[in-house]
Structure 1
Amino acid sequence: MVGEFGLIMFDNMPMMAIITAFIIFVLIGMGIGFVSGFFGIGGGTILVPILLNLGFDIKSAIGISVLQMFMGALFGSYVNYKNKKLVLNDGIIVGIGGLAGASFSGLIVANTPSIVLKLVVLFMLLVAIIKFFKADVQNTNPKEISKPIMFGVGVFVGAIAISVGLGGALFLTPIFVGFLKMDIKKAVSIGLFFVVFSSFAGLISLANADLVDYKTGLMIGIGSIIGVYFGVKVGHRANKQIQKKLALGLYIIMFILMIKNIVF
Structure 2
Amino acid sequence: MQDIALLAADPAVWVALITLVVMEVVLGIDNLIFISILTNKLPQEMREKARRIGIGLALVMRLGLLGTVAWIVQLTQPVFELFDHGYSWKDMILIAGGLFLVWKATKEIHHNVDPVDHKEDMVGGTVATSFGAAIGQILLLDLVFSVDSIITAVGMTPHLPVMVVAVVVAVAVMLLAATPLANFIEKNPTIVMLALAFLLMIGTTLIAEGMGFHVPKGYVYAAMAFSGLVEALNMVARNRRKRNAPGGTMH
Structure that is richer in strand per residue: 2
Structure whose CA Rg is larger:
2
Q: Common fold, TM-score beyond 0.5? A: no
TM-score, normalised to structure 2, is 0.40
Could you tell me the TM-score, scaled by structure 1's length?
0.39
